[in-house]
Chains A and B, each alone.
Chain A
Amino acid sequence: MSGFSNLINRSGFLRASAFGFGQIALTSMLAADDGKKTSAPMAIRSPHFAPAVSRVIFLFMHGGPSQVDLFDPKPVLARHHGKPLPESFGPVMTRRKVAANPLLGPIRRFRHCGESGLEISSFLPHISECADDLCVIRSCHGDSVNHPQSVYQMNTGSILMGKPSLGSWVAYGLGTENQDMPAFVVLPDPGGGIKGGPPAWGSGFLPAAYQGTPMRAGKHPVLHLAPAVDFPDDRQRRMLDLVRSLNRDHHQVRPYDSELEARIEASELAFRMQSAAPDIVDLSRETHDTRKLYGLDDSSTAEFGSRCLMARRMIERGIRFVQLYCGDTIGWDAHENVEKNHSALCLQSDKPVAGLLRDLKRRGLWDDTLVIWGGEFGRMPMSEQGVGRDHNPWGFSVWMSGGAVRGGLAYGATDDVGLRAVERPVHINDLHATILHLLGFDHQQLTWFHNGREERLTDVGGNVIHEVLA
């Protein structure tokens, strides 16, 4: 761990960490110059202790899926359907003043699934079949009833905009095994951007090299990935060789400017991405069987299925952290009609998600991959506009999966109606601490010095939930 500590050593970091992705001749020059250990920002680094997993796929259900209709059965809520929330629950902070609205019973029936008997609703028939592989945390809670703040909190630990995201902390902590691709890739929903926007995968005060790089399906997974005009490879390479020489000379007289170094790296990465990125998103060489597993043969599941399959291809190729957004700008935000909204989103995502879990298993990726499923918050037990539900950050479900967590487990509980986490509550900081733990990090030690303070993903909170670890 000592080498890593050196690296994190404040102002020295960027300067010392110059010129990532190997290959760049500057490294030796500057290493000699200041005599410090140098390390590329994207070089592979070891975590604090032996990790249980080395990569993460985060399936982000944008808009806030309803826990009481998917993973958190509430018979009491069903019985109280149409009645007001009992006064004993006290005042409830809500986004749209739904506190006095009648309760809305669970939309779908729950059933016991798998050997574990974990209860999942009929909204998710395919995921239900994987019940024994799910570790459902039913007692998550956050701090804001608003989308952007909650999107930020689930991603960065803070409801404020501009803090480093979980993926960027992981990229910072572990580097990337694939020198041709960024360590942290985001696959946005092509239907529309998320509420809160790109800061959700930003690197905040961490170096920009660690921020999420958005990619999409098709021939042009990244904008401007190929020259806009006919421009042969050998000409481009020769042109970029000249750029490298120019940049080297330019940087030589400005050795303390870490941003110039970062840009040299970014250019090199850009060049390599031109061939690496299309290959990663090219699903044509996947077998018919695999494509079917993810639902690529069905128009309702093909889009999200493609991205799930891309995610598997990415982690297979050494990308550390892949985040998929499921749900357009509105997503799971079922204010008007939970049945209608969740039917559509479950249809589009249920089979692909189950397919992903199965595929990870059969390819030997299961043991060291962590899959996370969840939104920025859940939904209220009270109704909105009759059959819809408002945002609920006070108690909601997130599940994890993979060989490193306990499958078939329901951890923690909300109250009788699913309003608040009451039993073994897991704050988002706790969830993050647990994820970092699985990756081999002590969340209190993975820090970055900023504005006079050692900043960390979990701020002043965070307890590892050891009971969910396999």
Chain B
Amino acid sequence: MRSFDSGISYVVIRVAVLAVLLGNAGNSCSQENNTGEADLEPPVTELDRTHWGFEPLRSVKPPEVSDPNHWCRNEIDQFILQRLQNAGLSPAPPAPRAVLLRRVTYDLTGLPPTPEEVRAFEQDARPDAWSRVIDRLLDSPAYGERWAQHWLDVARYAETDGFEHDLVRPNAWRYRDWVIENLNRDLPWRDFVRYQIAGDMLTHEDPAAVLATGFLLCGPDMPDLNLYEERRHNVLSEMTSTTGSVFLGLQIGCAQCHHHKFDPVSQQDFFRLRAFFESTEWLKEQPLSVSADPGMSNEKAAFGRVISEGGKQATFLKIRGDFRRNGLKVAAAFPRVLSAAENSQSDGRDLTRVQLADWLSSTENAAALRVSANRIWLHHFGEGLVRTPGDFGTMGSVPSNCDLLDWFASQLPLRHWSQKELHRLILTSSTWQQSSVSDSGQEQDPENRLLWRMNRQRLDGEAIRDTLLYIGGRLNRQMGGPGVRPPLPVEIVSTLLKGQWEVTSDEAQHRRRSVYLFVRRNLRYPLFEVFDRPDTNASCPQRSRSTIAPQSLALMNSQLSFDAAENLTNRILREPDRSDEAAVISAWQWCYGRTPSESETIMALEFLTQSPAPDRDQRLHDLCLALINSNEFLYLD
């Protein structure tokens, strides 16, 4: 249509097309008659419901497979092996123990194994040696710190408002701590979800549940917006969109201004979901009861960035998403395509936020179960069974293995909603324990969708920083509390408004784990940014993975790298065996989680004699710096 010569027809056609896209052809030319949109809500058809992401969970039995090599250790392996066999592929051999230990230790804790842990596992001949490793790591507080970061990405967690002024939210960190603590204690997934939606109304179950509602308030906000109504509209709509994508894999935010262009989600669906949040109060941080925050019980009036239920407010559909244009009044209800036809209360009363929380975590909610299970899978394998983990709608990618997805999703309720049990299930499978070094399926399945080998994964910025502090013996393991601000390069700070990066005065705090660093919405910590940490303006279901020169510059030249090399050198120099060979072995163990091969030892010894550094200590320092800069340090086989 762009080729039309006549400007007039071009414009007319464009407006008409726009109107069709808006699903609102009848009204687009008439400002007066806009309240009739509800009449035009497209029905959800049976055909719509047949999309895999909207269907109920199918009851799937693990397939019978011929397995003469006894490769299958659990049901996951049966699903995987079946597909591999159908494709004429076979699984990669199991990874060596040292590789497995490095892989699993990073996977569950975001930290590397110590040389002692590697040695212990390699020598552990007990049949349950692997299970013991998994239990040890799942019991470590570092587990919650690691897996919290995955969730905080999803929750678009930050400690400031964003926009121009980017003001600090003094108590936002309590939500981050709630996530860490409850992942560590394996709070049933069902409650993990429920409390984040309606924890303020469920404190009779758990007084701290109120802190979980910080989830709803993690998004950007512009308190200096002239119009309160507009601000309120923005926050509530953002909350609604995020809830839809995080818990349902439904890009319901697309339906804020018009019916979803591809999925059977109407604008009414959006505002019905928003109606659950309409009467929440959140403008000011709220005082916490002592029981919600036992750690602070001696202090008066701890505050939290949490939600409470305020006076009843009606929800109106906003015509074209414009907060000034009320359409019809809508009542709270679940998105039609994911719920049975009857989803309002039979007695005519409105559904409550607790009911939304219950529905989002119900065994009947297939979308919610699939999305959650897929996230767990994703963080173990580097890719989800569905490769668009935030979109299970018709524009999302198709699952690589539908049967496995549904079976795995069904395990969440069956295994008492224990996320740790799902970790165990994956980690004890032969699928996860495959070597990543194999090329047998390269031609046929270069993207490894069938999992004929393990995916190689790159450390993220947080794991890199934590590791550099850890191997140098400098990581401060203190847990919890307000975000920490280590010093930043001056050229970075100079782009901020004055006072936006007040360095934390206690130097020991600068060496805390990355999850405790202050999260400023308008400024990502440079090392994290360069290694693809998402901005916090929207939920991020999966980080991208770029490979760029500035990453190499950061590892080559940053103070963090030089400190790590120096501290690791000092650690090695303190060991009883002062020989070069012992130093090389130790450096390899700390950086790669394994002992060097003969040729590697020769190469390293040669370096220690030939490097231009002035003395042996500094040559060893340069060796450590080289290991930190190498690919093997950055990648998990």
Contact = CB atoms under 8 A, between A and B. Distances in A.
Contacts of A114: none
Chain A interface category by residue count: 35 or more
A422 B548 contact: no
Interface string B534-561: 0100000000111111111110111101
User: Chain A binding site: helix, strand, loop or mixed by DSSP?
Assistant: loop
Interface in A400-435: 413, 415, 420-425, 427, 429-430
A263 B550 contact: no
Contacts of B60: none
B397 interface: yes
Contact of B446 (A11, A202, A208, A240): A11
Contact of A216 (B15, B437, B491, B607): B491
Contact of B549 (A90, A93, A266): A266
A185 to B, nearest CB: 11
A246 B550 contact: no
A228 interface: yes
A61 interface: no
A227 B552 CA distance: 12
Nearest to A419: B11
A269 B547 CA distance: 12
Interface in B592-607: 599-600, 603-604, 607
A329 interface: yes
Chain B interface category by residue count: 35 or more
A239 B600 contact: no
A236 B618 CA distance: 12
Given A91-B31, A264-B631, A229 B562 contact: yes
A262 interface: yes
A227 B625 CA distance: 12
Interface string B436-460: 1101001000100000000010100
Nearest to A248: B631
Interface stretch (A64-72, A253-261, A311-319): A253-261
Nearest to B446: A11
Interface stretch (B1-9, B78-86, B196-204): B1-9
A330 B164 contact: yes
B635 interface: yes
A250 B522 contact: no
Nearest to B397: A451
A243 B611 contact: no
B7 A422 contact: yes
Interface string B599-629: 1100110010011110000100011011101
Given A250-B631, A451-B397, A224 B626 contact: no
Contact of B631 (A97, A211, A246): A246
B492 A223 contact: yes
B381 to A, nearest CB: 16
A235 B622 contact: yes
A271 B629 CA distance: 12
Interface of A: 11, 90-91, 93, 97, 162, 182, 190-193, 197, 202-203, 207-209, 211, 213, 216, 218, 220, 222-229, 231-232, 234-236, 238-240, 242-243, 245-247, 249-251, 253-257, 259-260, 262-264, 266-267, 269-271, 273-274, 329-330, 413, 415, 420-425, 427, 429-430, 451, 461, 463
Interface of B: 2-3, 5, 7-8, 10-11, 15, 18, 28-29, 31, 164, 320, 322, 324, 397, 436-437, 439, 442, 446, 456, 458, 489, 491-492, 494-495, 522, 526, 530, 535, 544-554, 556-559, 561-562, 599-600, 603-604, 607, 610-613, 618, 622-623, 625-627, 629-632, 634-635
9 contacts: A91-B28, A208-B546, A224-B550, A228-B558, A228-B559, A242-B604, A243-B629, A269-B552, A420-B11
